[in-house]
């Protein structure tokens, strides 16, 4: 029996890779987004303002949900988010994700996959990591039978219809080289390709083991 999978954030870096992987599965895929994705023949799409998740008129049963959304931040903002941007960041990375998770749960979803970040900690003084930690805890408290959380460091890969900032390119070249010097507990801070994160999430979601699963660098592989 095929599963019905809700994918949120299919236009993003990890989300687009998830879409590619999930298309290969014998599952019915439903996309939830703010804008319609082109060239997705045969895939149902729910277009909505994320402020109105609770108003979505969709009554069919969902088995699994993948959430791959987050406010786009610069490298500096990962360290410090200006006060005028903090509310919008929290809105996307906490409120929207929570609303989507609750919506999927109300439609019968038993399993959820979430893209978080290495260092996520609800006690962190860094706002980015603090919010990532808080949404993880929130998701874990909702009652899903299975929760799979990916905690990657800097994500590599080509973003759809987006030019890469030259500063980011330089950062990636340097950290790709220095990353090989990170071992033991520091290995999880190595850069990782988004396609590996996507592939690993789907693989873990497809196994029969319920409960909480936290994925780090060593867990991200091409399957």
User: Which tokens hold the place of 118?
Assistant: 């290495």
**Diameter over CA atoms, the chain:** 51
Over the chain, what is the mean pLDDT? Answer: 93
CB atoms within 10 A of CB 82: 9
The confidence score (pLDDT) of residue 133 equals 98
pLDDT at residue number 127: 97
Q: Quick one: pLDDT at residue 26?
A: 80
pLDDT digits (tens, 9 = 90+) for 42-96: 899 999 999 989 889 898 999 999 999 999 998 889 999 999 999 999 999 999 9
Chain segment 15-50, per-residue pLDDT in tens: 999 999 999 888 899 999 999 988 888 899 999 999
Long-range CB contacts for residues 50-53, cutoff 8 Å, separation at least 24: 50/92, 50/96, 50/99, 50/100, 53/96, 53/99, 53/100, 53/102, 53/103
Q: What is the pLDDT of residues 198-220, one digit of tens each?
A: 999 999 999 999 999 999 999 99
Task: Kindly tell me if the per-residue pLDDT of 163 is higher than 80.
Answer: no
User: What residue spans define the domains of the chain?
Assistant: 4-219
The per-residue pLDDT for 1 is 60
3-class state of residue 165 by DSSP: coil
Q: Quick one: 4-219 is in which CATH superfamily?
A: NAD(P)-binding Rossmann-like Domain (3.40.50.720)
Strands 28-33 and 4-8: parallel
Contacts of 142 (CB under 8 A, 6+ apart): 101, 102, 105
């Amino acid at each position: 029996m095929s599963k019905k999978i809700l994918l949120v954030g299919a236009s993003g870096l990890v989300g687009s890779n998830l879409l590619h992987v999930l298309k290969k599965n014998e599952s019915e895929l439903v996309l939830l987004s703010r804008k319609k994705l082109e060239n997705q023949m045969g895939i149902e799409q729910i277009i909505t303002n994320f402020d109105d998740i609770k108003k979505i008129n969709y009554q069919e049963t969902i088995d699994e949900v993948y959430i791959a959304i987050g406010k786009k931040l610069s490298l500096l903002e990962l360290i410090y988010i200006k006060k005028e941007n903090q509310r919008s960041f929290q809105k996307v990375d906490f409120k929207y994700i929570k609303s989507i998770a609750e919506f999927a749960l109300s439609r019968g979803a038993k399993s959820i996959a979430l893209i978080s970040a290495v260092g996520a900690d609800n006690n962190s003084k860094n706002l980015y990591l603090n919010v990532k930690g808080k949404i993880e805890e929130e998701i874990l408290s909702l009652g899903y039978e299975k929760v799979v959380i990916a905690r990657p460091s800097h994500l590599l890969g080509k973003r759809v219809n987006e030019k890469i900032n030259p500063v980011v390119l330089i950062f990636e070249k340097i950290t790709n080289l220095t990353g090989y010097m990170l071992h033991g507990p520091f290995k999880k801070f190595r850069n990782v390709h988004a396609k590996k994160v996507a592939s690993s999430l789907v693989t873990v979601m497809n196994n029969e083991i319920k409960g909480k699963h936290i994925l780090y660098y060593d867990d991200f592989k091409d399957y």
